[in-house]
């Protein structure tokens, strides 16, 4: 059974941290992309990550092929970083009801990048919708 995630870890991964997703294909060629949000399951044992359709074709193909994933969550202002590795249990188009969470992540991420000098207008250029939940 999967380990239950702590309150601190849940708050961290669901905040506006930088989220990078890493996968690989059957010949071990890596692929990386920026995710546009994350949430933890009600059981506190699974993390769902949202990847934009505009940039995730290879990532989704890799996940369908082998299910292996590494996700790096990094807070810009103090460099607190965690990496979680595992297998994808499901991948599906994100629902319209999830868009509010993705938009909130995007706004918080833009604010975090503004803290280190990147204007929000640039952060908001990152494609975020439509996307897949993995």
pLDDT for 94 beyond 80: yes
Q: Which residues make Cβ contacts (< 8 Å) with residue 118, sequence separation at least 6?
A: none
Mean pLDDT of the chain: 92
State the pLDDT at residue 120: 76
Q: May I ask the CATH architecture of the domain 7-133?
A: Roll (2.30)
Per-residue pLDDT tens over the stretch 50-75: 999 999 999 999 999 999 999 999 99
pLDDT for 1 beyond 80: no
pLDDT for 2 beyond 80: no
Q: Which residues make Cβ contacts (< 8 Å) with residue 103, sequence separation at least 6?
A: 128
Per-residue pLDDT tens over the stretch 8-40: 999 999 999 999 999 999 999 999 999 999 999
Q: Would you list the domain boundaries of the chain?
A: 7-133
Backbone dihedral angles phi then psi of residue 58, each to the nearest 5 degrees: -65, -40
State the pLDDT at residue 54: 95
Two tokens, residue 119: 């204007």
What average pLDDT score do residues 87-111 get? 93
Say whether 104 sits in a helix, a strand or coil: helix
Please tell me whether the overall predicted TM-score, pTM, comes out greater than 0.75 for this model: yes
């Amino acid at each position: 059974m999967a380990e239950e995630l702590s309150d601190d870890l849940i708050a961290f991964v669901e905040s506006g941290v930088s989220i990078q997703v890493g996968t690989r294909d059957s010949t071990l060629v890596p692929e990386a992309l920026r995710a546009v949000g994350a949430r933890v399951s009600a059981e506190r044992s699974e993390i769902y990550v949202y990847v934009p359709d505009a940039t995730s074709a290879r990532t989704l193909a890799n996940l369908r092929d082998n299910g292996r994933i590494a996700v790096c969550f990094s807070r810009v202002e103090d460099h607190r970083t965690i990496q979680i590795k595992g297998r994808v249990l499901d991948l599906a188009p994100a629902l319209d009801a999830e868009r509010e969470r993705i938009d909130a992540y995007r706004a918080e991420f833009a604010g975090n990048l503004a803290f280190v000098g990147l204007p929000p207008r640039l952060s908001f250029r990152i494609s975020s919708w439509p996307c897949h939940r993995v």
